[in-house]
Amino acid sequence: MPEPTPLPQRSLTTRIIRNVAGRFTSAASDIAALDSFFHISQVVLVHHSNCGASHVTKHDALDSIREKRPDFPVAGYADLESRMPMREDNHKSLQEDFEAAKKCGFIRKDLAETVVGFYLDVESGLVTRVYPNSSGNL
Protein backbone atom coordinates (compact mmCIF):
# COMPACT_ATOMS: atom_id res chain seq x y z
CA MET A 1 0.00 0.00 0.00
CA PRO A 2 1.48 3.40 -0.96
CA GLU A 3 2.25 6.00 1.68
CA PRO A 4 -0.49 8.62 2.02
CA THR A 5 0.40 12.04 0.65
CA PRO A 6 -0.03 14.80 3.23
CA LEU A 7 -2.16 17.78 2.34
CA PRO A 8 -0.35 21.05 1.73
CA GLN A 9 0.30 22.96 4.93
CA ARG A 10 -1.31 26.27 4.07
CA SER A 11 -4.15 28.19 5.52
CA LEU A 12 -7.25 28.59 3.36
CA THR A 13 -10.06 30.95 4.20
CA THR A 14 -13.49 31.10 2.64
CA ARG A 15 -15.42 34.34 2.61
CA ILE A 16 -19.16 33.90 2.18
CA ILE A 17 -21.40 36.74 1.08
CA ARG A 18 -25.09 36.07 1.51
CA ASN A 19 -27.74 38.42 0.26
CA VAL A 20 -31.34 38.47 -0.88
CA ALA A 21 -31.69 35.92 -3.68
CA GLY A 22 -27.93 35.39 -3.76
CA ARG A 23 -27.61 37.76 -6.73
CA PHE A 24 -24.16 38.73 -7.97
CA THR A 25 -25.01 42.37 -8.70
CA SER A 26 -25.97 42.89 -5.05
CA ALA A 27 -22.68 41.37 -3.88
CA ALA A 28 -20.28 42.72 -6.53
CA SER A 29 -19.10 45.77 -4.57
CA ASP A 30 -18.55 43.63 -1.46
CA ILE A 31 -16.51 41.16 -3.52
CA ALA A 32 -14.39 43.99 -4.91
CA ALA A 33 -13.82 45.46 -1.45
CA LEU A 34 -12.91 42.09 0.08
CA ASP A 35 -10.58 41.42 -2.85
CA SER A 36 -8.74 44.68 -2.16
CA PHE A 37 -8.08 43.53 1.43
CA PHE A 38 -7.65 39.78 1.07
CA HIS A 39 -6.94 39.04 -2.62
CA ILE A 40 -9.77 36.64 -3.45
CA SER A 41 -8.73 33.70 -5.61
CA GLN A 42 -12.12 32.51 -6.86
CA VAL A 43 -15.78 33.49 -6.98
CA VAL A 44 -18.32 30.70 -6.57
CA LEU A 45 -21.98 31.45 -7.25
CA VAL A 46 -24.50 29.11 -5.62
CA HIS A 47 -28.23 29.24 -6.23
CA HIS A 48 -30.61 26.72 -4.69
CA SER A 49 -34.05 25.25 -5.09
CA ASN A 50 -36.92 26.50 -2.95
CA CYS A 51 -35.27 29.91 -2.60
CA GLY A 52 -37.49 32.41 -0.82
CA ALA A 53 -36.80 34.95 -3.57
CA SER A 54 -38.41 32.64 -6.09
CA HIS A 55 -41.71 32.74 -4.17
CA VAL A 56 -42.21 36.50 -4.64
CA THR A 57 -42.38 38.19 -8.00
CA LYS A 58 -41.05 41.67 -8.75
CA HIS A 59 -44.66 42.68 -9.36
CA ASP A 60 -45.65 41.51 -5.84
CA ALA A 61 -42.73 43.38 -4.28
CA LEU A 62 -43.49 46.58 -6.20
CA ASP A 63 -47.16 46.40 -5.20
CA SER A 64 -46.09 46.09 -1.57
CA ILE A 65 -43.79 49.10 -1.89
CA ARG A 66 -46.57 51.14 -3.52
CA GLU A 67 -48.85 50.26 -0.62
CA LYS A 68 -46.28 51.05 2.07
CA ARG A 69 -44.74 54.10 0.36
CA PRO A 70 -47.45 55.80 -1.68
CA ASP A 71 -45.23 58.92 -1.78
CA PHE A 72 -42.46 57.07 -3.68
CA PRO A 73 -42.18 58.77 -7.09
CA VAL A 74 -43.62 56.79 -10.00
CA ALA A 75 -40.53 57.62 -12.07
CA GLY A 76 -38.39 55.67 -9.58
CA TYR A 77 -40.16 52.34 -10.10
CA ALA A 78 -38.36 51.41 -13.34
CA ASP A 79 -34.96 51.83 -11.67
CA LEU A 80 -36.13 50.01 -8.56
CA GLU A 81 -37.55 47.12 -10.59
CA SER A 82 -34.30 46.70 -12.52
CA ARG A 83 -32.36 46.35 -9.25
CA MET A 84 -34.74 44.00 -7.47
CA PRO A 85 -33.17 40.61 -6.79
CA MET A 86 -36.32 38.47 -7.09
CA ARG A 87 -36.00 35.54 -9.43
CA GLU A 88 -38.69 33.45 -10.97
CA ASP A 89 -36.38 31.04 -12.81
CA ASN A 90 -33.42 29.72 -10.81
CA HIS A 91 -31.52 28.44 -13.85
CA LYS A 92 -31.95 31.73 -15.71
CA SER A 93 -30.92 33.79 -12.69
CA LEU A 94 -27.77 31.71 -12.23
CA GLN A 95 -26.91 32.24 -15.91
CA GLU A 96 -27.57 36.00 -15.54
CA ASP A 97 -25.33 36.16 -12.47
CA PHE A 98 -22.56 34.16 -14.17
CA GLU A 99 -22.63 36.52 -17.16
CA ALA A 100 -22.75 39.61 -14.91
CA ALA A 101 -19.72 38.39 -12.95
CA LYS A 102 -17.78 37.73 -16.14
CA LYS A 103 -18.55 41.24 -17.44
CA CYS A 104 -18.21 43.17 -14.18
CA GLY A 105 -15.93 46.13 -14.87
CA PHE A 106 -14.59 46.61 -11.34
CA ILE A 107 -13.73 42.99 -10.51
CA ARG A 108 -10.17 41.98 -11.50
CA LYS A 109 -10.22 40.31 -14.91
CA ASP A 110 -8.27 37.30 -13.65
CA LEU A 111 -10.75 36.94 -10.78
CA ALA A 112 -13.74 37.21 -13.15
CA GLU A 113 -12.22 34.36 -15.17
CA THR A 114 -12.43 32.06 -12.10
CA VAL A 115 -16.19 32.40 -11.64
CA VAL A 116 -18.11 29.14 -11.44
CA GLY A 117 -21.81 28.55 -10.81
CA PHE A 118 -23.41 25.73 -8.86
CA TYR A 119 -27.00 24.74 -8.26
CA LEU A 120 -28.02 23.09 -4.97
CA ASP A 121 -31.14 20.96 -4.78
CA VAL A 122 -32.02 21.41 -1.10
CA GLU A 123 -34.30 18.37 -1.07
CA SER A 124 -31.70 15.87 -2.29
CA GLY A 125 -28.54 17.73 -1.25
CA LEU A 126 -27.20 17.30 -4.79
CA VAL A 127 -24.88 20.09 -5.97
CA THR A 128 -24.44 20.43 -9.73
CA ARG A 129 -21.82 22.51 -11.49
CA VAL A 130 -23.72 24.53 -14.05
CA TYR A 131 -21.30 27.20 -15.33
CA PRO A 132 -19.00 26.84 -17.06
CA ASN A 133 -19.97 23.40 -18.28
CA SER A 134 -17.36 20.69 -18.94
CA SER A 135 -16.46 22.26 -22.30
CA GLY A 136 -15.99 25.66 -20.64
CA ASN A 137 -19.12 27.21 -22.15
CA LEU A 138 -22.38 28.56 -20.79
| Segment 103-122 mean pLDDT | 91
Half-sphere exposure of 48 (CA within 13 A, CB side): 14
Tell me the per-residue pLDDT of 58-110, one tens digit each, with 9 for 90 and over.
Answer: 888 888 888 998 888 877 777 777 777 766 677 788 888 899 999 999 999 99
CATH number at residue 21: 3.40.1050.10
Contact 115, 101 (CB under 8 A): yes
Paired residues of 120 in beta bridges: 48, 127
CA 50 to CA 47: how far, in whole Å?
Answer: 10
According to the 3-state scheme, what is the secondary structure of 104-122?
A: CCCCCHHHHCCCEEEEECC
82 & 98 share domain: no
Residue 121 domain boundaries: 1-51+88-138
Q: pTM surpassing 0.85? A: no
Number of domains in the chain: 2
